[in-house]
Amino acid sequence: MCGIAGLCQTDGGPLPPEADQWVRAMTDRMAHRGPDGSGLWREGPVCLGHRRLSIIDLAGGGQPMCSAQGDLTVTFNGEIYNFAELRQELQARGARFQTDSDTEVILEGYRIWGPDCLERFDGMFAFALWDAPRRRLFCARDRFGKKPFFYTVQQGRFHFASEVTALEQVPGLNLTLDPAALMRYLAYEYVPTPQTMYKEVVSLPPSHWLLLEDGALRVGRYWDMPVPEEDDPRPVPQLCEELRDLLARAVRRRMVSDVPLGVFLSGGIDSTIVAGLMARQSATPIKTFSIGFSEASYDESRYARLAAAAFGTEHHERVLSAAQCADTLPGIISCMDVPMADASVAPTWLLSGVTREKVTVALGGDGADELWAGYEHYIGFNLAERYNALPAGLRRGLVEPLARLLPSSAGYINPRLAVETFLRAAAAPAWQRVQTMLTALGPDAQADLLAPAVRERAPELLRPANLFAPTRAAYEHWQPPQAAAPLARAFHVYVRQFLLDDILVKVDRCSMLHSLEVRAPFLDKDVAAFAARLPVRYRLHGFKRKWLLKKAFADLLPREILHRNKRGFQIPVAQWLRGRLRPLMEDLLAPEALTAQGLFNPAAVRALMDAHLSGKADLRKPLWTLLVFQLWWRARRDGRGPAC
């Protein structure tokens, strides 16, 4: 796991003399991504930089790496898990290797297969490869976007980096706030790929390549999620056996490391499966890591201990108070290169720190909830159709008035807020339903909240069809429309938006700030394709989430974990905003600060704060989304780096 950056003159001419120091400044800004070494390579129109976290071939895997013939050079972030098999295949075709690293497999794979090499790589990666004979730069990002790749074309140069803050180090680049991106952030709690908060910076989408050649920039897709089948003739026991084999192989591949490794263990279904498969395939006790909270209502560490005992792991646990978590949160958010309003960033960052004390690589359960229907919203999506089939009089005259009588709570689940969110989603068109359940601030709320100068620069986004256009594109991705049922399309929205720009960003940034690599067996290309092809009823079976996954691993999972409900990291945001984080909120959202900034309507923001502080409404999502943006904005304004 590493950090990459570089420049390429688009006209093929030589770079300015200062290019070396610009690229070095970019990689230095990402030193946390690669504390074990740095490298710089320059030739003609291109300069590539690298920060290394040594995982495979500690002595010989330095980068940027040149091929044995000296004609290809790559800077690479990530891991190619099937590199050993690919190496043998390439050697049989005459490839010569100088190292034992997976990086060199990219070079030789590209030499023999060209851009089609991407179809053969199983891994998490982002890389830029300079093909000197063809005078072209070939870049790519992995299938699910586990590794980031940002770029901008300015001043006749193509600039790229693993983090947006690295691009800020290049003198003279225009990096201006995009009002449309701000509005999408307020709706999604992140900026959907390929957009970024800066108008001039693009995030390369997952499963895509980028080619810079002859002054032209082209971007294309090399892989797509399979269309779910309406039926599958294989009996359930056979499907379970195939899934067990695929996931066991995915875990085994991700256990290849020349440095110590372990596993994030929350005690949920997904991490417990990964830990159990690791334990079965390890000759020595594996290392597991979890955090707990001293407050009983937020602590689920007993499930992690239960799983650790079942598998005989060497378990490491850190118990924190919610207050410690709250106090850490503002600093963590300020270190992020992109604003992302997932409050579980705090425990993820803390868990990464605890884990890094013992190991350099950790496996986790990321991707299982999105691919296997782990979220309650999948059930809500299906229930919406049934609810809408009820007579309108019953819905409007009985159900909706009763919903307003439900109790409100600042806890993990607020019954009234949950039902109100469901009713809004049920009233939305099917393509918008998932995002309606996740949205912080829709068009109506933004119309009041944003300063006129911002609204006037992107007025079209105050209409749902435009604000949520990325969601519609993800929902309608498969053509013709009958290619996939509505629920199958909801899976695609979750994978291509929430997983991509929330979950994977959170895990990548939090782990990398501690120089820790995290691997995701559930996002193995074969495991993910198997899940995606299944009829959706095997993933959401009535009201039973992760149905086939649980069935396949029932003998591995401790019974108490097998039958527990999913719960993510519990963060008492609603309480914090009324207590421990209130001074920070009052400071960052103060009228004078907002007036000087010129992005938000101070009176509307104050009204949100007053309603939440009084307990009349639970506005944790919009207020937290605003607070995170202000923390990110302040860090950018102050030029603060990611050293936490």
Average pLDDT across each block of 10 residues of the chain; the chain has 644 residues. List them in order.
93 94 97 94 97 81 91 96 95 92 96 96 97 97 98 97 96 94 97 98 98 96 93 94 98 92 95 97 96 76 94 93 82 92 91 96 97 94 85 74 65 69 88 93 94 93 95 93 89 97 97 96 97 96 95 96 73 87 94 95 97 91 95 82 44
Q: Phi and psi (nearest 5°) for 641?
A: -90, 180
Contact 355, 289 (CB under 8 A): yes
Q: What is the pLDDT of residue 274?
A: 98
644 is catalytic: no
- Say whether 102 counts as a known binding-site residue: yes
Is 452 exposed, middle or buried, given 0-12, 13-18 or 19+ CB atoms closer than 10 A? exposed
Q: What is the pLDDT of residue 405?
A: 64
Q: What is the pLDDT of residue 642?
A: 44
Q: What is the pLDDT of residue 409?
A: 59
Q: What is the pLDDT of residue 231?
A: 87
Q: What is the pLDDT of residue 297?
A: 65
**Distance (Å, whole) CA 644 – CA 335:** 7
Q: What is the pLDDT of residue 259?
A: 87
Q: What is the pLDDT of residue 569?
A: 58
Q: What is the pLDDT of residue 637?
A: 78
Q: What is the pLDDT of residue 176?
A: 94
Domains and CATH numbers, the chain: 3-178+193-221 (3.60.20.10), 572-643 (no CATH)
The H or E element containing residue 77 is strand 72-80
Catalytic residue among 2, 139, 325, 335: 2
Q: What is the pLDDT of residue 378?
A: 94
From residue 11, how far is each of 136, 153, 218, 312, 450 by CA, in Å?
11, 12, 15, 59, 41
**Distance (Å, whole) CA 79 – CA 361:** 11
Dig out the tokens for 199 from the structure: 């108008």
The H or E element containing residue 545 is strand 544-545
User: Between helices 376-388 and 415-427, what is the axis angle to 10°?
Assistant: 60
- Say whether 291 counts as a known binding-site residue: yes
